[in-house]
């Protein structure tokens, strides 16, 4: 916690994520799908600063257009702060300033990162002394990706994606991210997947009740080998995302023609994540895609989960 012009402020940071593997199973009784995913936290981060206040409010800055984001009680960061206040019996509020760098509705868990960083910042600001397990439990009630934004690194997610177990990952992987000018609704992409499966019920195997992450993914991560990981990348949501936004297919093709080992839709899209061999290849691909007027950033992974920052 620091003090600026006499006002206390707590700065927390949490990462966006890439699903390097995502298999979608059958619909559960609670309406969610059973998932098996391998997450990697990457160096595109959300910055949250929490200030003492009597009520709950949020404002945004950053490198992306935030004009369409909710600032009322439906905002996930506000929900996170309110949930912690209820849990701790805290009667005050908080003002949140969020610097957004992770694409909005881009399949990289930016809102979840906001929530994770907010929980950590408010816990410190309010001195609630919640344990990590308590914060993770609150996060899981807010969204399936929030617990991973808290833990970071590389992990396997099952259930709704919120039941995490760490995965060994060696070294750093280099990513080039093509950011779309539009967002995609995660529920809409899942609905399109369900419709696709219904349409082709006679031709494809039924959805697995308990999907698992392929061993090839775990071996590639453990070896720290981008070529192995490129061969193992998989996302069941890619086909429905491409059906809803066909132009993303051209983006994937362009990246792979310009040196990417592989391209994959991140989560429910529309961000396209390109895995490259090394930092030089990442720079070359960034230049090539930028020349095609795509908005592109480089990132590395894995990185730490939510943590406090001393300004």
| Catalytic residue (one of 114, 145, 162, 236) | 145
Known catalytic residue: 55?
A: no
Whole-angstrom Cα Rg for the chain = 19
| Catalytic residue (one of 17, 23, 79, 100) | 17
Neighbours of 12 (CB within 10 A): 25
Known catalytic residue: 17?
A: yes
Catalytic residue numbers, as ranges: 17, 145
């Amino acid at each position: 916690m620091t003090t600026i012009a006499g006002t206390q402020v707590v700065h927390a940071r949490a990462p966006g994520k890439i699903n390097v593997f995502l298999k979608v199973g059958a619909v559960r009784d609670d309406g969610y799908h059973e998932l098996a995913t391998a997450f990697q936290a990457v160096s595109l981060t959300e910055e949250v600063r929490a200030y003492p206040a009597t009520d709950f409010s949020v404002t945004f800055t950053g490198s992306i257009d935030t004009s369409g984001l909710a600032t009322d009680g439906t905002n996930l960061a506000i929900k996170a702060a309110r949930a912690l206040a209820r849990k701790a019996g805290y009667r005050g509020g908080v003002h949140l300033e969020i610097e957004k760098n992770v694409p909005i509705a881009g399949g990289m868990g930016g809102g979840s990162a906001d929530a994770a960083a907010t929980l950590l910042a408010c816990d410190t600001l309010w001195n609630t002394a919640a344990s990590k397990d308590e914060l993770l439990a609150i996060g899981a009630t807010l969204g399936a990706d929030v617990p991973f934004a808290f833990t970071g690194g590389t992990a396997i997610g099952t259930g709704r994606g919120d039941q995490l177990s760490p995965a060994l990952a060696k070294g750093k992987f280099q990513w080039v991210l093509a950011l779309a000018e539009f967002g995609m609704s995660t529920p809409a992409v899942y609905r399109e997947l369900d419709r696709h499966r219904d349409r082709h019920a006679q031709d494809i195997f039924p959805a697995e009740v308990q999907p698992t992450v392929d061993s090839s993914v775990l071996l590639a991560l453990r070896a720290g080998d981008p070529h192995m990981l490129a061969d193992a990348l998989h996302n069941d949501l890619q086909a429905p995302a491409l059906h809803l936004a066909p132009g993303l297919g051209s983006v994937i093709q362009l990246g792979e023609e310009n040196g990417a080992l592989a391209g994959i839709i991140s989560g429910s899209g529309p961000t396209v994540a390109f895995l490259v061999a090394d930092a030089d290849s990442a720079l070359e691909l960034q230049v090539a895609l930028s020349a095609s007027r795509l908005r592109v950033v480089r990132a590395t992974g894995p990185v730490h989960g939510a943590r406090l920052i001393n300004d």
